[in-house]
């Protein structure tokens, strides 16, 4: 008997991250490179600048709050963009798969 395929999907309003893992996730195109990641900033941003310091290739400081400067987060900046979201003190960064 073969190994069962696993598909982990963790999505929730209280969880800022999305987790996709396993062979089934790869088959559905929901893991790693090639899958579009987008970031957005909520109005709750306090302009602390932490995201801009963490990932300046994705975030920059606007007049009143941080802004996202890319349409899709490039593969090489995914981890830093997620780190910025995880470390945002007011959870104003939303990462969308």
Give φ, ψ of 50 to 5 degrees: -60, -40
- Whole-number Å distance between alpha carbons of 65 and 88: 13
Question: How crowded is the C-beta side of 55, counted as CA atoms within 13 Å?
Answer: 26
If one compares 71 and 2, the residue with the highest pLDDT of the two is 71
pLDDT digits (tens, 9 = 90+) for 26-52: 334 444 556 789 999 999 999 999 999
CATH number at 33-96:
3.30.70.20
Question: Given a cut of 80, is residue 70 above it in pLDDT?
Answer: yes
Question: Given a cut of 60, is residue 23 above it in pLDDT?
Answer: no
**Report field, pTM of the whole predicted structure over 0.85:** no
């Amino acid at each position: 008997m073969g190994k069962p395929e696993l598909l982990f999907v963790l999505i929730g309003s209280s969880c800022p991250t999305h987790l996709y893992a396993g062979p089934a996730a790869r088959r559905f195109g929901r893991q790693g490179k090639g899958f579009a990641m987008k970031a957005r900033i909520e109005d709750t941003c306090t302009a602390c600048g932490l995201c801009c310091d963490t990932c300046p290739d994705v975030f920059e400081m606007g007049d009143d709050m941080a802004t996202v400067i890319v349409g899709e987060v490039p593969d090489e900046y995914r981890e830093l963009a997620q780190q910025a979201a995880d470390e945002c003190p007011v959870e104003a960064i939303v990462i969308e798969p």
